[in-house]
Structure 1
């Protein structure tokens, strides 16, 4: 069973390559709140819907002092294509060996179409200014997720 993060836990630090193959570290965001969300695959219908939802709400989130980072197992070149095709304006990070996904509890067994499979568990976290988990949501829906997140976080 994958260990899941809970409110109050220290967010596991990471440094991953972005869509331009530049390193991005969670530590760079200390002093600011950041949403870290994990999704299965760039350019798939659900992941595209979710990424565009974050894109369309980014100004309001940034206005509340919240940054957004998307993480998937995709390689930087695929992330760049996805970013450019959808006009995404927040960093997409590559975790091809799934180390960060596992540390955050966002990779493991899940049910898909009635079958148990191993894969990325669509998950979203709000990390506070000190690097602690302020909200942890697992098995989130791609559609309507950002509206629910804003409601839950009162933003």
Structure 2
């Protein structure tokens, strides 16, 4: 299971026990916010996009939407999301539990959007549709092996 791979991944940082599993679904921003009893914006959602070499993951705040112009300016290509079977193939995680952790495919590049920087901590999924971990923004960047901070979103409030 993907959640087991994520727990194994976090064990190298001494954080495997910090992965939370819920009795309810956290497969969407709204459901995750309900499960965690936080505002939806604090859910760190991981979006997956096609590129020429594999895929790009962009971790954004729960209330942010990708701005097509900013995305194209940053990455030089149109923002085209992966199909659910492609998400699983590239990340090892099914839609609803996609996260930037324990990614085995070296052709997956992870970026973290500045929309999350307004929070002390955020909650990304952990490989299943009923899991999360609380991380600081710096921890999220570090543990996701982010290549760089990007500004490719809109509609979030600072």
Normalising by structure 1, we get a TM-score of 0.29
Greater share of residues in strand: 1
Q: Which has the higher contact order (CA 8 A, sep 6+)?
A: 1
TM-score, normalization: structure 2? 0.29
